[in-house]
Structure 1
Protein backbone atom coordinates (compact mmCIF):
# COMPACT_ATOMS: atom_id res chain seq x y z
CA UNK A 1 0.00 0.00 0.00
CA UNK A 2 1.27 3.49 -0.88
CA UNK A 3 1.96 5.67 2.21
CA UNK A 4 -0.15 8.84 2.52
CA UNK A 5 1.09 12.13 1.06
CA UNK A 6 -0.46 15.55 1.53
CA UNK A 7 0.66 17.00 -1.80
CA UNK A 8 3.46 19.27 -2.91
CA UNK A 9 4.96 21.32 -0.08
CA UNK A 10 7.69 23.16 -1.96
CA UNK A 11 8.93 23.81 -5.47
CA UNK A 12 12.30 25.22 -6.48
CA UNK A 13 13.45 27.64 -9.12
CA UNK A 14 17.12 28.19 -9.89
CA UNK A 15 17.88 31.84 -10.60
CA UNK A 16 20.79 34.05 -11.62
CA UNK A 17 20.09 36.80 -9.07
CA UNK A 18 18.07 35.89 -6.00
CA UNK A 19 17.31 39.50 -5.04
CA UNK A 20 15.89 40.27 -8.52
CA UNK A 21 13.68 37.17 -8.36
CA UNK A 22 12.55 37.95 -4.80
CA UNK A 23 11.49 41.45 -5.87
CA UNK A 24 9.60 40.01 -8.86
CA UNK A 25 7.64 37.44 -6.81
CA UNK A 26 7.02 39.95 -4.00
CA UNK A 27 5.75 42.63 -6.38
CA UNK A 28 3.76 40.49 -8.82
CA UNK A 29 2.36 37.82 -6.47
CA UNK A 30 2.73 39.35 -3.00
CA UNK A 31 4.88 36.43 -1.79
CA UNK A 32 6.88 36.93 1.40
CA UNK A 33 10.35 35.65 2.28
CA UNK A 34 9.99 33.28 5.25
CA UNK A 35 13.57 32.01 5.38
CA UNK A 36 16.81 33.44 4.02
CA UNK A 37 19.65 31.09 3.08
CA UNK A 38 22.17 33.89 2.56
CA UNK A 39 23.86 33.84 -0.84
CA UNK A 40 22.33 30.40 -1.61
CA UNK A 41 18.75 31.66 -1.82
CA UNK A 42 15.54 31.87 0.17
CA UNK A 43 12.11 30.40 0.82
CA UNK A 44 8.95 32.37 0.04
CA UNK A 45 5.47 31.70 1.38
CA UNK A 46 3.24 30.76 -1.55
CA UNK A 47 -0.30 30.07 -0.39
CA UNK A 48 -1.33 28.61 2.93
CA UNK A 49 0.91 25.54 2.90
CA UNK A 50 3.25 25.91 -0.06
CA UNK A 51 6.76 27.26 -0.34
CA UNK A 52 8.58 28.59 -3.39
CA UNK A 53 12.33 28.09 -3.02
CA UNK A 54 14.64 30.39 -4.96
CA UNK A 55 18.17 29.04 -5.23
CA UNK A 56 21.08 30.84 -6.85
CA UNK A 57 22.31 28.78 -9.79
CA UNK A 58 25.52 27.11 -8.66
CA UNK A 59 25.14 28.60 -5.17
CA UNK A 60 25.11 25.25 -3.35
CA UNK A 61 28.10 23.59 -5.02
CA UNK A 62 30.57 24.66 -2.36
CA UNK A 63 28.58 22.90 0.40
CA UNK A 64 28.03 19.65 -1.53
CA UNK A 65 24.26 20.01 -1.68
CA UNK A 66 22.02 18.45 -4.31
CA UNK A 67 20.11 21.75 -4.59
CA UNK A 68 21.14 23.01 -7.98
CA UNK A 69 19.61 23.14 -11.39
CA UNK A 70 19.45 25.02 -14.64
CA UNK A 71 17.11 25.64 -17.51
CA UNK A 72 13.75 27.29 -17.99
CA UNK A 73 11.14 25.70 -15.74
CA UNK A 74 7.37 26.10 -15.38
CA UNK A 75 5.08 26.80 -12.47
CA UNK A 76 1.41 27.77 -12.24
CA UNK A 77 -0.49 29.86 -9.71
CA UNK A 78 -4.17 29.15 -9.08
CA UNK A 79 -6.43 32.20 -9.33
CA UNK A 80 -10.20 32.64 -9.09
CA UNK A 81 -11.84 33.02 -12.51
CA UNK A 82 -13.30 36.36 -11.40
CA UNK A 83 -9.74 37.71 -10.90
CA UNK A 84 -8.48 36.98 -14.42
CA UNK A 85 -9.27 40.47 -15.84
CA UNK A 86 -7.57 42.13 -12.85
CA UNK A 87 -4.53 39.89 -13.34
CA UNK A 88 -4.29 40.79 -17.02
CA UNK A 89 -4.45 44.49 -16.13
CA UNK A 90 -1.88 44.02 -13.32
CA UNK A 91 0.57 42.27 -15.64
CA UNK A 92 0.21 45.00 -18.29
CA UNK A 93 0.68 47.76 -15.68
CA UNK A 94 3.91 46.07 -14.61
CA UNK A 95 5.26 45.73 -18.15
CA UNK A 96 4.98 41.96 -18.20
CA UNK A 97 4.55 40.54 -21.68
CA UNK A 98 1.94 37.80 -21.98
CA UNK A 99 3.29 35.02 -24.19
CA UNK A 100 0.10 33.00 -24.48
CA UNK A 101 -3.54 32.92 -23.39
CA UNK A 102 -5.37 29.62 -23.55
CA UNK A 103 -8.92 28.48 -22.88
CA UNK A 104 -9.15 24.82 -21.85
CA UNK A 105 -11.88 22.35 -22.77
CA UNK A 106 -13.02 22.12 -19.12
CA UNK A 107 -13.62 25.90 -19.11
CA UNK A 108 -10.48 27.08 -17.36
CA UNK A 109 -8.19 29.77 -18.71
CA UNK A 110 -4.43 30.19 -18.48
CA UNK A 111 -2.17 33.18 -19.06
CA UNK A 112 1.56 32.56 -19.53
CA UNK A 113 4.49 34.95 -19.04
CA UNK A 114 8.17 34.85 -18.03
CA UNK A 115 9.93 35.76 -14.80
CA UNK A 116 13.36 37.47 -14.80
CA UNK A 117 15.10 34.10 -15.41
CA UNK A 118 12.73 33.15 -18.23
CA UNK A 119 10.90 30.54 -16.17
CA UNK A 120 7.42 30.13 -17.64
CA UNK A 121 4.87 31.36 -15.12
CA UNK A 122 1.18 30.58 -15.51
CA UNK A 123 -1.89 31.95 -13.81
CA UNK A 124 -4.74 29.47 -14.12
CA UNK A 125 -8.44 29.56 -13.31
CA UNK A 126 -10.53 26.55 -12.22
CA UNK A 127 -11.31 24.25 -15.12
CA UNK A 128 -7.73 23.69 -16.27
CA UNK A 129 -7.59 20.16 -14.85
CA UNK A 130 -10.24 17.68 -13.78
CA UNK A 131 -9.07 18.25 -10.19
CA UNK A 132 -8.98 22.06 -10.48
Structure 2
Protein backbone atom coordinates (compact mmCIF):
# COMPACT_ATOMS: atom_id res chain seq x y z
CA UNK A 1 0.00 0.00 0.00
CA UNK A 2 1.33 3.43 -0.92
CA UNK A 3 0.92 5.84 1.92
CA UNK A 4 1.83 8.90 -0.16
CA UNK A 5 0.27 10.11 -3.39
CA UNK A 6 0.23 12.99 -5.87
CA UNK A 7 3.78 14.31 -5.49
CA UNK A 8 4.32 17.96 -6.26
CA UNK A 9 7.26 20.34 -6.31
CA UNK A 10 6.89 23.95 -5.18
CA UNK A 11 9.27 26.66 -6.36
CA UNK A 12 9.75 29.72 -4.16
CA UNK A 13 9.50 33.12 -5.79
CA UNK A 14 9.75 36.78 -4.88
CA UNK A 15 7.25 37.83 -7.60
CA UNK A 16 4.52 35.21 -7.94
CA UNK A 17 2.49 37.10 -10.55
CA UNK A 18 5.54 37.42 -12.79
CA UNK A 19 6.47 33.74 -12.29
CA UNK A 20 2.91 32.51 -12.98
CA UNK A 21 2.66 34.65 -16.12
CA UNK A 22 5.99 33.26 -17.35
CA UNK A 23 4.97 29.61 -16.92
CA UNK A 24 1.48 30.20 -18.35
CA UNK A 25 3.15 31.65 -21.45
CA UNK A 26 4.92 28.27 -21.82
CA UNK A 27 1.57 26.46 -21.90
CA UNK A 28 0.99 25.70 -18.21
CA UNK A 29 -2.54 26.35 -16.97
CA UNK A 30 -3.42 27.69 -13.58
CA UNK A 31 -5.21 25.06 -11.48
CA UNK A 32 -5.28 26.71 -8.04
CA UNK A 33 -4.59 30.07 -6.47
CA UNK A 34 -4.90 31.46 -2.97
CA UNK A 35 -6.21 33.92 -2.21
CA UNK A 36 -8.45 34.02 -5.26
CA UNK A 37 -8.51 37.85 -5.34
CA UNK A 38 -5.47 40.11 -5.32
CA UNK A 39 -1.87 38.94 -5.29
CA UNK A 40 -1.72 35.23 -4.48
CA UNK A 41 0.65 33.60 -2.02
CA UNK A 42 0.45 30.22 -3.81
CA UNK A 43 -0.38 29.20 -7.39
CA UNK A 44 -0.49 25.67 -8.82
CA UNK A 45 0.17 25.16 -12.53
CA UNK A 46 -0.47 22.10 -14.72
CA UNK A 47 0.93 20.91 -18.05
CA UNK A 48 0.19 17.41 -19.40
CA UNK A 49 -1.05 16.27 -15.97
CA UNK A 50 2.16 17.41 -14.25
CA UNK A 51 1.43 19.85 -11.46
CA UNK A 52 3.84 22.13 -9.68
CA UNK A 53 3.39 25.07 -7.39
CA UNK A 54 4.74 28.54 -6.92
CA UNK A 55 4.84 29.99 -3.42
CA UNK A 56 5.93 33.41 -2.30
CA UNK A 57 9.11 33.61 -0.30
CA UNK A 58 7.39 36.00 2.15
CA UNK A 59 4.38 33.76 2.79
CA UNK A 60 6.60 30.73 3.33
CA UNK A 61 8.57 32.66 5.94
CA UNK A 62 5.62 34.33 7.67
CA UNK A 63 2.98 31.57 7.43
CA UNK A 64 5.18 28.54 8.00
CA UNK A 65 8.25 29.87 9.81
CA UNK A 66 10.62 28.46 7.19
CA UNK A 67 13.67 29.98 5.50
CA UNK A 68 13.11 29.50 1.75
CA UNK A 69 15.63 30.52 -0.85
CA UNK A 70 14.03 32.27 -3.82
CA UNK A 71 17.06 32.59 -6.07
CA UNK A 72 19.80 30.46 -7.57
CA UNK A 73 19.95 27.03 -9.17
CA UNK A 74 18.15 24.94 -6.56
CA UNK A 75 15.91 22.88 -8.84
CA UNK A 76 15.26 22.28 -12.52
CA UNK A 77 12.01 22.19 -14.45
CA UNK A 78 12.38 19.77 -17.35
CA UNK A 79 10.35 20.49 -20.49
CA UNK A 80 10.28 17.90 -23.27
CA UNK A 81 9.69 19.15 -26.80
CA UNK A 82 9.97 18.15 -30.45
CA UNK A 83 12.05 21.27 -31.22
CA UNK A 84 14.67 22.29 -28.62
CA UNK A 85 15.98 25.23 -30.63
CA UNK A 86 12.56 26.84 -30.97
CA UNK A 87 11.72 26.11 -27.32
CA UNK A 88 15.02 27.59 -26.16
CA UNK A 89 14.40 30.74 -28.24
CA UNK A 90 10.84 31.04 -26.89
CA UNK A 91 12.07 30.86 -23.29
CA UNK A 92 14.60 33.62 -23.94
CA UNK A 93 11.91 35.77 -25.63
CA UNK A 94 9.87 35.45 -22.42
CA UNK A 95 12.78 36.74 -20.32
CA UNK A 96 14.61 33.56 -19.35
CA UNK A 97 18.39 33.87 -18.99
CA UNK A 98 20.34 31.69 -21.45
CA UNK A 99 22.68 29.25 -19.69
CA UNK A 100 23.65 26.64 -22.33
CA UNK A 101 22.66 26.61 -25.99
CA UNK A 102 21.24 23.41 -27.49
CA UNK A 103 23.80 20.60 -27.60
CA UNK A 104 23.77 16.82 -28.03
CA UNK A 105 23.79 14.67 -24.90
CA UNK A 106 24.07 10.90 -24.43
CA UNK A 107 23.99 10.40 -28.19
CA UNK A 108 20.19 10.50 -28.38
CA UNK A 109 19.09 13.77 -26.80
CA UNK A 110 19.38 17.44 -27.64
CA UNK A 111 19.26 19.67 -24.54
CA UNK A 112 19.46 23.35 -23.67
CA UNK A 113 19.43 25.21 -20.35
CA UNK A 114 17.99 28.55 -19.23
CA UNK A 115 17.11 30.13 -15.88
CA UNK A 116 13.57 31.34 -15.29
CA UNK A 117 12.89 34.78 -13.88
CA UNK A 118 13.73 33.61 -10.32
CA UNK A 119 16.89 31.74 -11.29
CA UNK A 120 15.36 28.22 -11.36
CA UNK A 121 16.92 26.09 -14.06
CA UNK A 122 14.81 24.97 -17.00
CA UNK A 123 16.12 22.19 -19.21
CA UNK A 124 14.56 21.81 -22.65
CA UNK A 125 14.96 18.26 -24.00
CA UNK A 126 14.36 16.63 -27.37
CA UNK A 127 14.85 12.98 -28.32
CA UNK A 128 16.81 12.72 -31.58
CA UNK A 129 17.59 9.70 -33.77
The two structures have a TM-score, normalised by structure 1, of 0.73
Structure 1: where are the runs of 5+ without partners? 128-132
Cα drift, residue 116 of structure 1: 1.1
Q: TM-score, normalised by structure 2?
A: 0.74
**Structure with the largest fraction of strand:** 2
Partner of 1:34: 31
Q: Does 1:69 align with 2:68?
A: yes
Q: Decide whether the 8 Å contact of 2:61 with 2:68 is kept in 1.
A: no
Instruction: Check conservation: 1:78, 1:126, Cα contact below 8 A.
Output: no
What are the ranges of 5 or more consecutive residues in structure 2 without an aligned counterpart?
Answer: none
TM superposition shift of 1:33? 1.1
Whole-angstrom distance in 1 between the partners of 2:6 and 2:105: 23
Q: How do residues 1-132 of structure 1 correspond to structure 2 at under 5 angstroms?
A: 4=2, 9-27=7-25, 29-38=26-35, 39-48=40-49, 50-64=50-64, 69-70=68-69, 71-72=71-72, 73-80=74-81, 82-94=82-94, 96-101=96-101, 102-126=103-127
Residues 24 and 31 of structure 1: is their aligned pair in 2 closer, same or farther, counting only changes over 3 Å? same
Cα distance between partner residues in 2 of 1:110 and 1:8:
27
In the TM superposition, what is the alpha-carbon distance from 1:92 to its structure 2 partner? 4.7
CA RMSD across the alignment:
2.8
Deviation of 1:96 (Å) = 3.9
